[in-house]
Amino acid sequence: MSTSSRTRSHDAFRKARRLIPGGVNSPARAFHAVGGEPIFMARGAGQFLYDIDDNRYLDYIGSWGPMILGHAHPQVIEAIQQAAARGTSFGAPTENESRLAELIMQAVPSVERVRLVNSGTEATMSAIRVARGATGREKVIKFSGCYHGHVDSLLVSAGSAAATLGVPDSPGVTIGTSKDTIVLNYNDPCAVSEAFRMHPKDIAAVILEPIVGNMGTVLPTHEFLRSLRNETSKYGAVLIFDEVMTGFRVAYGGAQSLFGIEPDLTTLGKIVGGGLPLAAYGGKADIMDNVMPAGKVYQAGTLAGNPLATAAGAATLEILRDDPPYEYLESQASRLASGLLNAAISVGFPAQMQRMGSMMTLFFNDAPVTDWPTANRSNRERFASYFWGLIEHGVYMPCSQFEALFFSRTHRPEDIEFTIEAAEKVLLQMAESGKG
């Protein structure tokens, strides 16, 4: 189908730019990485999105991950409606908060205590604070290309040395805020060992995406993950897995259940709230019991554990537990990944497909992507042409070479085949026209 008419989206964006910085409430929606203007959506149903011009798209973003059950799942919508009818916020505890916390703890064995918050950024910010409070240390190791929300101390760029102190990567972030952040390359266990050797009593935590989604999908080596667990245990630091993206997406127990590496703290978001604003952080009881009021590390949120969000999250996790979609998602993801990769290679475009379950990225890159320096060599212009070509066929992919693709259990085998066929047409047209 052609989606060339987007007049109402154009008008909506023009109005939004007068009201909202850049016309969007998150930079990921701005389409800066592919050019052009963002598309304004009106509704979602199952595997489809519909824009305000009534164009229909097969959705491979899924609200950047959480819509694993598809849009407007009847049981999730019913749970939200029932919760809303009882009241939208109380500023007091509810039983549903404990219900969701229990579901999380049952799914992720490393989580012995859990605190609900409103966003992934809050979860990672809080986990870092708890790690510092529990250890009495200040420095944190992160990895270039891993995004952990817009936390000041984590918005830093990488240096070239094995253990380079970070410098601010955004105006408004002070050098003082980021001076205790050490930025290393992903999948480099030697750099991790060297950082601990240089700062043996100063590192409070290591935080990472156990499967990266924020420089595109990048998989860890077993050696890398094992070194992180060994080094943090050896030096008394806290290992934090940021599973905001991977939690309940790559497996019900998250990436840690696939790799057999148990972190000390875990951050969760997206699916855990069923698509509503909710996230969580949790982990070992002796660490989490430092959080006020059990301990002295302060963290609070007026709307944390909101009744609508906990209802959506609990309904989603119960469906995933009782009727797991992961085997189906794996089979369809394998077909989609091979089809998209073969389509690119068949027209002579160097490409890499990196995938874990229903989370994947096609990199227009002539070498495997293992970290940010290798990801950064991808052909952005080629991806932009690919993105807009697929839009014209009614396929809505992530609007950046450095974002992961997601899909839901509502995507049918024929949807996967349609997507592959659309990609073949787009890539052939690109090759013939010399685009990219």
Catalytic (active-site) positions: 147, 242, 270
Q: Is 183 helix (H, G, I), strand (E, B) or coil?
A: strand
- Bin 344: left if φ > 0, else alpha if -120 < ψ < 50, else beta: alpha
User: Facing residues of 282 across strands?
Assistant: 114, 266
Q: What distance in Å separates the CA atoms of residue 13 and residue 1, rounded to the nearest whole number? A: 23
Cα dihedral 220→272→236→214 (10° resolution): 40
Helices (H), 272-407: 285-288, 307-322, 326-346, 372-375, 380-392
| Nearest to 316, CA basis, from 88, 111, 67, 58 | 67
Question: C-alpha distances in angstroms, 19 versus 10, 39, 53, 89, 250?
Answer: 15, 17, 21, 28, 38
Residue type present at position 145: G
Q: What distance in Å separates the CA atoms of residue 3 and residue 5, rounded to the nearest whole number? A: 6
191-194, Cβ contacts within 8 angstroms, sequence gap of 24 or more: 191/162, 191/163, 192/141, 192/224, 192/227, 192/228, 192/231, 193/227, 193/231, 194/162, 194/163
Q: What distance in Å separates the CA atoms of residue 320 and residue 100, rounded to the nearest whole number? A: 13
| Nearest to 282, CA basis, from 314, 242, 316, 309 | 242
C-alpha angle 360-361-362 in degrees, rounded to nearest 5:
130
| Dihedral of alpha carbons 62, 60, 34, 9, sign | negative
Instruction: Give the strand pairing for 164-165 and 181-184.
Output: antiparallel
